[in-house]
Structures are given as C-alpha cells and as structure tokens.
Amino acid sequence: MQIGMDVSFSQRQQLILTPQMEQALHILQMGAEELNQCIEEEVLSNPMLEYGKKRGEVRAYQSYVNALADEKSSGPGLKEYLKMQLITKGLSPREQGIADFFIECMEESGYLKIDVGEISQRIGISKEEGEKTLGFLQGFDPPGVFARDLRECLLLQLTGKDENTKKARLLAEGHLMDIAKNKLPKICRETGFSLEEAAEGIAYIKKLEPVPGRGYGYGRERNLFLYPDVTVKKQGENYRIFLNKEKIPSLELSRENLPLLTQFQGKEESGYLKEQYNRAKMFLKNVGKREETLFAVTEALVERQEEFFEKGRGYLRPMNLMDIAQGLNMHESTVSRAVKDKYLECRWGVFEMKYFFSYKGPEGAFCNVKGRIQEIIDGEDKKKPLSDAGIAKILSEQGDCISRRTVAKYREQLQIPNTQMRKSFL
C-alpha cells in the first residue's frame, strides 16, 4: 500500500454575516418591549451613547401604561379585602383567628378547595364549627367567595326572591352540565320551562361571576396592555402611517464623552473609546434602519389591503410575504422579521401584523382560510348551524380544499364554539 500527499483546490460560495448585519437583523425582528430593553442595556454598557431629550417623556408614558388597571386590580388583594371586612364584624379573638385561618386556606380565585373537615382538624375545632365559620364567610363580598365548586359559587350569588332569580337558581342547582352543552330541549322537559323561560334563566346565570377573585389580583398577569407599533389613519382620501415611538426612547451620541476621543488620542484609552464610538454609530444606524423597514413594509401592506382598511375584516385580500418582498425589492425573510412581534392599529382594532398574511393552499393559491371560516359561520342559520364537515364542503366548493379536522382546529383557534353550542332554539 502506497501512502502519499496531494494538494487540491476547490471553490465554493459562502455567505458570512458581518457583526453589523447580524445586529441589524436581530434589531429588525424585535418588538417594542424587547427593543426598549435592548436600548437600555446598550446605553448602560456603551459610554458613547446616551438618551435623547425625550427620555423623560418615555418614562412618564411607561408609568401611565403600567398604571392602566381596573379599580379592583389596583386595590388590595382578595385576602386583604376579606380581612378588612372581618375587622368590622366584632368577633372575639378566637373567632377572628379561626376566620383568618380559613381566609389563608382560600385560593386566589376565591374558591375553597381544602375540605372543611381537614381545616377544622388542623386548628383543633369541630367540623360543625368549621361549617358555621364557612357559612359566615360565604356572606362576605364579593358574592360567591368561599364556594367549593362552580355550582355553589353561582347559588351564593342567586339569593334574590324575584321570579328571574328563582328560575336561574333552579337551573343552577341541577342543570349546569346541560347549560354547558346547550341542551335547552332537555332542560325544558325536566323543568317544565318554555324555551323563552329557559333562555332567560340561562342568560341571567351567564351574567354571574364564576371566579369571585377576578380583579383582586387573580389572573392579573393576563391583563396585558397591547401596544401597537404602527397606527394607520385615514386623512382625507389617503391613509397615513404613524410609527408609535412613545415607548421607545430616543438615542444620541454622548455629548459629554465625545471630546474624550481627541483628549486621549494616542493613549491606551483611545482604542477603547474609538471601538465604543463605532459600536454606538452602528447601533444608531440599525435602530434607524428598523424604523425605515417597518414603515416601508406597512406602507406596502396598506396599499395592498386598502379595501380591508376601508370596509373591515371581511375584505382581507389574499397576500403572502413574497408579495410584499417583491414590491420592495427585499428578501422574504426580511419582511418576515419586520412584521415579527409587531402590532398594527387601525379603525377596526389592533392586529398582529402577521394577521394580514395568508397561507399557501394545496394548489398554490393563497387564501385566508380562518377569515373564510369566520365569514361562513357569521352567515349561517343559527337554528341549523353548520358542522365542521359542512364548512369544509363549502370551502371546497369555493376552491379552498381543507379537511374537517383542519376546520375544527381553525375554529378552535378563532374561539368559535362547536355546532351544538352555536345552536339557537328561539
């Protein structure tokens, strides 16, 4: 066997992203919240950057947004609110201690999930005294608090003597599962109510609060303020685009540290300062480029979807990322990054910018299937609502061939109930 050495040459093309390009792409796909955090980190780490004059205005605006909460959410938590009521009841120290323990055992939702017997055993009282304490606490505000299940929660709120309350109470006592499944005929057979009476009772129940702790801190993390990145308004015959910069602080080169570039020229510190100066200029350029790209993409989107902005959701045109990219002479991935985590506000509401882009169908046609499903359901006969298979058949006749399971998945994503739940008996 011979062993030898050989030298050969080959050519290949490879795209290498420079640090500036990587940063530009990263900043482009940031939402307003993430960009705000990125700017704050950059200012802290780079002595050649500082906030512009609008920094105070941005802080004031953020404080205002953070304060947007309902009256209950900005007040005491549910347990604190119950203890405030407890103080006014004139209880003995022993009775107040027992009631305090029950309040601590209650969940943030307002429900009591621990067995009364177990609580009574923990604090050394009889189960009868525990039940008496529970009944006392169930009379506190908000109505429904200390319920052990949904049925009890609703019944605690149905204490009136009028006919509507009596009907609703009867329905809540024994027909909650049938109400959940919209089985009005069965409810009418078992209660003797007419369809109108049953519907009135159910409507009354639906006005009750199933989660007594809502608004007292429970679920507060879900009450997020949705901040639009872009606003589209009609002025005269044309639509104007406004980039919402109130939440994003303005930046500029540090006027205090710029003179240090010449002061330390030729010294060891000079290299570090020049590096930070170049980095600051690159960051400012990329933030500005993000604004330019977002504006251009939005402008092209509004131009293609003008009928939507004029008439509403039912007039959304089929459109994909490539349609925008070709019109702007951009790469499709650039458009995708530009709309990622961005929100657009118009007269019809606030929309994620991805909402305006459709998906590719099996034959290459682009169609907004979810929008079509919503439109079909909105126009159906509510006494004979369409099944998922029926919706799939209508879509197929219109050229959008998708399966029944896909229709069901999209319907659930749109938070539209199933056929039985959509059925109206009146």
- Answer whether 198's CB lies under 8 Å from 235's CB: no
The DSSP call for residue 398 is: T
Name the residue among 245, 241, 221 with its Cα closest to residue 231. Answer: 241
Ranges of residues in the chain whose predicted pLDDT is under 50: 55-58, 60-61, 64-65, 67-73, 221-223, 361-366
Alpha-carbon distance of 177 to 172, in angstroms, equals 9
Q: Residues with Cβ < 8 Å from 228, sequence gap 6 or more? A: 244, 343, 344, 345, 350
Q: What is the pLDDT of residue 11?
A: 66
In what side-by-side order are the strands of the sheet with 238-243?
238-243, 230-235, 343-346, 349-352
Q: Residues with Cβ < 8 Å from 100, sequence gap 6 or more? A: 83, 86
Q: What is the pLDDT of residue 368?
A: 65
The DSSP call for residue 68 is: -
Alpha-carbon distance of 295 to 329, in angstroms, equals 14
The DSSP call for residue 113 is: -
Q: What is the DSSP string of 132-173?
A: HHHHHHTTSSSTTTTBSSHHHHHHHH----SHHHHHHHHHHH
pTM score of the predicted model: 0.55
Residue-wise pLDDT tens digits, 67-81: 444 444 456 789 999
Q: What is the pLDDT of residue 223?
A: 47
Helices and strands (H and E) in the chain: how many = 22, 8
- Answer whether 356's CB lies under 8 Å from 319's CB: yes
Residue-wise pLDDT tens digits, 140-197: 999 999 999 999 999 999 988 888 899 999 999 989 888 888 888 898 999 899 888 8
Q: Which two tokens stand for residue 6?
A: 């050989």
